[in-house]
Amino acid sequence: GMPDERLGERICTFAVPVDERRPTVEDVTAYLAEKHVAKRLWPERMEYIDEIPKTATGKVKRFELTKELAKRMENE
C-alpha cells in the first residue's frame, strides 16, 4: 500500500523487469481490464526493483517494500 490522505492507502505495484520493457500503470490497468479484474484491485503506481525481497520460505517481505516505497516517495 501507498499512503493516501483521503483513503489511507492506495495500490502500488512493485515489478522486477526481465528485459528493457517497463510497462506503465496504463499498460497494467488495460491488461487487468481485459481480464475483468475489479477496478478496486488496479494499481495506481508502478515501481521497478531488482528483486522482490522474500523470506526463507518464499513469502514476500511486504514491510521491506513499504520501506522502499517510503524512501522513493521522499525523494520525489
- In tens, the pLDDT along 25-37 reads 999 999 999 999 9
The beta strands (E) that lie in the chain are given as 2-4, 8-10, 12-15, 45-48
Give the CATH number, domain containing residue 13. Answer: 3.30.300.30
Could you give the CA distance from residue 66 to residue 52 in angstroms, rounded to a whole number? Answer: 12
Domain count within the chain: 1
Range of the domain at 28: 2-74
* CA–CA distances in Å: residue 53 to residues 2, 14, 15: 17, 11, 11
- In tens, the pLDDT along 64-73 reads 999 999 899 8
Q: Mean pLDDT, to the nearest integer, of 39-67?
A: 94
Grid coordinates in use for 74? 521522499
Question: Which residue in 34, 63, 32, 28 sits closest to 47, CA to CA?
Answer: 28
| pLDDT confidence of residue 4 | 66
